A and B are shown apart, each in its own frame.
Chain A
Amino acid sequence: MPFAVQYPAINAKLKALSSKMLREKDFQNLIELNTVQEAFDYLYNNTYYQECLEDFSGQEIHRRQLELKLKKNLVLSEDFLKKYLSSALKNFIEHYFKKFEIEDLKIILRTILMGNDENYLSNNLIYIDRNKNINFDNLIQASSYNDLQNVLKDVYYSDVLNEFADQYQENKNLFSIEMTLDFYYFSQLINLSAKLSNVDQKYVNEVIGTQIDLLNIQWIYRIKRYYNLSSGEILNYIIPFYFKVKKSELQNMSHVKNTEDLIKYLSYSPYQIILEKAIKDDNVIFERFFLNYIFKKLQKIKRNSFFSISNILAYLYIKEYELRDIITVIEGIRYSLPKDKIENFLIRREV
Chain B
Amino acid sequence: MKLLKLVPDNTNIQFLKLRVPFFVLSLVLIVGSWIAVAVNGLAFGVDFAGGQEVRMTFTQQTTAPIPSLREKIATLGYGEPVVQEFGAPNQVSIRVKLPDGAEQAPDAAKAIGERVIATVKADHADARVDGNDTVSGKVAGEFRNQAILALLAAMAAVSLYIWVRFEWQFGVGAMFALVHDVSITLGLFALTQWEFTLQIVAAILAIIGYSLNDTIVVYDRIRENLKKFRKMEMGALLDLSVNETLARTVMTSLTLFVALIPLLFFGPPSLFGMVAAITVGLFVGTYSSVYMAGPLLIWMGVTTNSFVPTETALDKQEKIARGEA
Question: Are A and B genuine complex partners?
Answer: no
Query: Which A positions have Cβ atoms within 8 angstroms of B?
Result: none
Query: Which B positions have Cβ atoms within 8 angstroms of A?
Result: none
